[in-house]
Structure 1
Amino acid sequence: MKIVSWNINSVRFRIGIVEQFLRENEPDILCLQETKVIDSDFPLDAFRALGYRHIVLHGQRMHHGVAILSRVPITLDDRLDWQANQEARHIGVQLENGVRLENVYVPAGGDVPDRDANPKFGQKLDFVERMTRWSESLACPTILVGDFNIAPLESDVWSHKQLLDVVSHTPVEVEALSELQAAGGWTDLGRHFHPAPARLYTWWSYRAKDWQASDRGRRLDHMWATNGAAEHAVSHTVFESCRSWLKPSDHVPIMTEFAF
């Protein structure tokens, strides 16, 4: 079973590259973040034409939004409000084998890494804290995917020293993510298959005129799994070439293959 996660940054605007990716790689399940569309306007026909007939949506107009599109049966499970303001940032489903699949879009957190000066940063930390409390009570094998908006390791960013005070790589965010990982006994599948300090980026800013030449990447997108699911993972791939496609997202797809 191939499971893909991709912050698509508007699914309607980039439906062409989504279709291209699905044709070329044929994942069983696609988890999207930042779909930026209400459920009634989601481009369902494009996915159904490619065999993705099991679809669960949690959309929001112009902002946020998550979706799970599958070729295999899934059951709607939950939509947790870890943002505590009803933003569409999480959706979870159950696979037929009993494994849970949770798709999350963690807030970016603004530009200033200070809870008092920047309420968005506090919201991000609180979001991760709520996920941590949820992780403590997990009772079945679970796969957690999505845009975490945190690059935890020194080798997860292009320059550890220059980004220490930049939101997404600050010590307080890294500590919060570490506590989340410990709470659920999560295996970071990206680093399991590509151990640090191997280069492993999933995001490059639109601000760079030549993203490949500057290569100022960060690993913001992750796939984690608990016991009962992690041991079935057989590979993890980052599709860096998608960053050069027509009208690309600033994130690229990541995929883990499982042998259940």
Structure 2
Amino acid sequence: MTFTLATWNINSVRLRAELVARLLREELPDVLCLQECKSPVELIPTEIFRALGYPYMIARGQKGYNGVAILSRLPMREVGAHDFADLGHARHIAGQLDNGVTIHNFYVPAGGDIPDREQNIKFGQKLDYLTQMRDHFHGEKPQKAILVGDLNIAPREDDVWNHKALLKIVSHTPIEVDHLGAAMDSGDWVDITRANIPEGRLYSWWSYRSPDWDAADKGRRLDHIWATRDIAAAGHSSRVLRPARGWEGPSDHAPVFATFDL
């Protein structure tokens, strides 16, 4: 079984439903994981996606912020949703395909603007969230699993436009990178995107604040696709759909893709 998976922080699934529909029509992913849906589950416009051949959806939602959803044209059943760090936020959902592959969809807290737990409670919450992810996967020892989402950390030097300039900026600080690495190691996860594209600068997010995001190209790779080591070799054809960042009324994130032969 071969299937293509995409992950996209959509920054309001209701506001950008037509962009989601465009992605589904033009790219035809078998599974699309969305973050920052900003909608109660019952108000997600599922009829639009169903009409395009995506009858399966599992989701956790909140009014106005957070929220995760998985759309699929392959049969999928929900197998879990965790509130890591006990924040009361809709930031995780997991589904399982008929071939036994479990897909985890995450929206890790952004962490605010100051990279200091004592001065910024949101930064501490982000670190606690990653620590509980680490502990969960250490205990679960996942197999035949894929983890995707807006993890809000660009771990490598070439995942940001300027490594030295961003070392003290939330999303690229050493402590965040260490916490993300610990979460990855605990589940024996492999970064599929970088396994497929091992060299060169690669971004999935460009700030709305930039008057010309494309020319300035001050991006960060905040959106990730991982797989457990037992199936990592089956992942290929990774790419970032950069043009989607330039669609009318865009999210500040671009979709990230990978295909799996399982």
| Range class of TM-score, shorter chain | over 0.9
Shift of 1:79: 0.7
The reply to whether residue 145 of structure 1 matches residue 148 of structure 2 is yes
| Aligned partner (choices 39, 42, 65) of residue 44 of structure 2 | 42
Tell me which residue corresponds to 1:90: 92
* Secondary structure, aligned partner of 1:30: strand
Tell me which residue corresponds to 2:181: 178
Which shifted more, 138-147 or 123-132?
138-147
TM-score, scaled relative to structure 2: 0.97
Tell me which residue corresponds to 2:228: 226
Q: Percent of pairs identical after alignment?
A: 50
Shift of 1:120: 0.3
Indicate conservation of the 8 Å contact 1:89/1:106, yes or no. yes
Indicate conservation of the 8 Å contact 1:5/1:146, yes or no. yes
Question: Where has structure 1 moved over 3 Å in runs of 4 or more?
Answer: none
For residue 173 of structure 1, what is the amino acid of its counterpart?
Answer: E
For residue 189 of structure 1, what is the amino acid of its counterpart?
Answer: I
Alpha-carbon separation, structure 1, partners of 2:85 and 2:106: 11
Alpha-carbon separation, structure 2, partners of 1:238 and 1:6: 10
Tell me which residue corresponds to 2:214: 212
For residue 60 of structure 2, what is the amino acid of its counterpart?
Answer: H
Shift of 1:189: 0.7
Indicate conservation of the 8 Å contact 2:142/2:187, yes or no. no
Q: For residues 236-259 of structure 1, what are the alpha-carbon distances to aligned partners after superposition, in whole Å with 9 as ceiling and x for unaligned?
A: 010001010010000000011011
RMSD over aligned Cα atoms? 0.8
Alpha-carbon separation, structure 2, partners of 1:212 and 1:227: 35
Alpha-carbon separation, structure 1, partners of 2:15 and 2:116: 33
Relative to 1, partners in 2 of residues 1:228 and 1:255: Cα closer, same or farther, differing over 3 Å? same
Equivalences, count: 259
Shift of 1:231: 1.7
For residue 230 of structure 1, what is the amino acid of its counterpart?
Answer: A
Alpha-carbon separation, structure 2, partners of 1:38 and 1:234: 34
For residue 31 of structure 1, what is the amino acid of its counterpart?
Answer: C
For residue 4 of structure 1, what is the amino acid of its counterpart?
Answer: A
For residue 174 of structure 1, what is the amino acid of its counterpart?
Answer: V
* Secondary structure, aligned partner of 1:76: strand
Tell me which residue corresponds to 1:2: 4
Shift of 1:139: 3.9
For residue 198 of structure 2, what is the amino acid of its counterpart?
Answer: P
Q: For residues 212-242 of structure 1, what are the alpha-carbon distances to aligned partners after superposition, in whole Å with 9 as ceiling and x for unaligned?
A: 1110000000000002321211210100010
Task: Please show how residues 109-148 of structure 1 align to structure 2 within 5 Å.
Answer: 109-136=111-138, 137-148=140-151
Tell me which residue corresponds to 1:202: 204
For residue 221 of structure 1, what is the amino acid of its counterpart?
Answer: D
* Secondary structure, aligned partner of 1:56: strand
For residue 18 of structure 1, what is the amino acid of its counterpart?
Answer: V
* Secondary structure, aligned partner of 1:128: helix
| Aligned partner (choices 97, 102, 105) of residue 107 of structure 2 | 105
* Structure 2 residue ranges without an equivalent (≥5): none
Tell me which residue corresponds to 2:72: 70
Alpha-carbon separation, structure 2, partners of 1:40 and 1:226: 32
Alpha-carbon separation, structure 2, partners of 1:72 and 1:138: 25
* Structure 1 residue ranges without an equivalent (≥5): none
Indicate conservation of the 8 Å contact 2:192/2:236, yes or no. no
Task: Please show how residues 238-249 of structure 1 align to structure 2 within 5 Å.
Answer: 238-249=240-251
Q: For residues 195-222 of structure 1, what are the alpha-carbon distances to aligned partners after superposition, in whole Å with 9 as ceiling and x for unaligned?
A: 13x1210000000000011100000000
The reply to whether residue 30 of structure 1 matches residue 45 of structure 2 is no
Alpha-carbon separation, structure 1, partners of 2:142 and 2:211: 47
Alpha-carbon separation, structure 1, partners of 2:10 and 2:116: 28
Indicate conservation of the 8 Å contact 1:36/1:61, yes or no. yes
* Secondary structure, aligned partner of 1:83: helix
Indicate conservation of the 8 Å contact 2:83/2:92, yes or no. yes
TM-score, scaled relative to structure 1: 0.98
